[in-house]
Amino acid sequence: MKKSKMFLDVSRLKHAGLILLLFVGFSFSGNAMGSNSFLSGHTLTVFAQAGQTGAKATTKKAVKKEEANVTAESRPYDKIDPQFKGIGPGNNRMKFILSVVVLLLAFGGMIKGKGAVKKVSGIVALLALGMIGKITYVEARALGRQQGYAPVQPIWFSHKVHVTQNKIDCEYCHVDARTSRHAGVPSLNVCMNCHSQVKEGSVSGKKEIAKIYEHLGLDPNTLAKVKPGKPVEWVKVHNLPDHVYFNHAQHVQAGKVECQECHGPVEKMNRVVEFKELAMGDFCLDCHRKRGIDTSNPYYKHYNFKKLMEEEGVDKITVDKIGGADCSSCHY
């Protein structure tokens, strides 16, 4: 039997080929919201790796176009900081396609081959199947998640310039983090507390700060109101699925959790990137099972935590003990 015929019998591969085509088609189909999984078009990792793109691009081509727009607008300073590039699971699409091809070839070997060829083909097929299983698992988990997402914002707002270089506290701008569900993004009036004086930045000159005046409808020289303003459409970076309830006050005020534990070193970012994978198990529940609550919180004065700790022989009450692992705490 000729070797080439042994490994590739086209008539037998027809159906498998069709399935492969379907998978490839599926993996390239874009999804407007996007997530880290190629099963939904793999848009967000593409964004972060291209490093210059906005939220609307869903394909590599669109990403390139947006990149060109940013360059045309000449924002050479607007890049993802090198140390935050490539965060996220990476792109498994090529590995997946390769595994499927190897699997098909191995099937060919199993059907047509004899003796050692048959055995080796069997082993290769098993390995390829294992790989496909693993990638499918990783990619399915990444559906709806956006670690590494770093969209271009309408104004180049640098946390590094403001927090590290100018020592502004997070809560000066994100005033609601301690008291309400959403940390919130400051209104332009908060910016004007300083930018009514500071009209020039050392990196971007007058260009980016002028956009604050433009959006408020102010004359850049006199700062007098000359026309109606229009709000800035900041692109939201962190997005939990709609079925999840998350509350900032619960964590920042009651739980005494630092912003950076969940958002990473934002103070070092010139462009905000979703630093951690906001996953139910490895992120939310992992902390809830380990972290002790503040038992001196007056809110808990009716609970007899001391007795509970003695009974269980532990030195802290972890969040899961007060309901932090119940489905209904986090899900609607």
- Is residue 324 at the binding interface for ligand HEC, with CB under 6 A as the rule? yes
Shortest reach from residue 148's CB to ligand HEC, in Å: 13
- Is residue 73 at the binding interface for ligand HEC, with CB under 6 A as the rule? no
Q: Which is nearer to ligand HEC, 30 or 241 (CB)?
A: 241
- Is residue 39 at the binding interface for ligand HEC, with CB under 6 A as the rule? no
Comparing CA positions, the residue from 79, 214, 233 lying closest to residue 160 is 79
Q: Which is nearer to ligand HEC, 42 or 248 (CB)?
A: 248
Shortest reach from residue 84's CB to ligand HEC, in Å: 13
Rounded Cα–Cα distance for residues 270 and 265 (Å): 11
- Is residue 223 at the binding interface for ligand HEC, with CB under 6 A as the rule? no
- Is residue 102 at the binding interface for ligand HEC, with CB under 6 A as the rule? no
Rounded Cα–Cα distance for residues 250 and 284 (Å): 13
Shortest reach from residue 279's CB to ligand HEC, in Å: 4
Identified binder of ligand HEC from the candidate list 156, 216, 270, 273, rule CB under 6 A: 156
Identified binder of ligand HEC from the candidate list 114, 182, 301, 306, rule CB under 6 A: 182
Q: With contacts defined by CB under 6 A, name the span among 2-10, 24-32, 87-95, 258-266 that binds ligand HEC.
A: 258-266
User: 162-181: which residues touch ligand HEC (CB under 6 A)?
Assistant: 162-163, 166, 168, 170-174, 177
Shortest reach from residue 291's CB to ligand HEC, in Å: 5
Shortest reach from residue 6's CB to ligand HEC, in Å: 43
- Is residue 196 at the binding interface for ligand HEC, with CB under 6 A as the rule? no
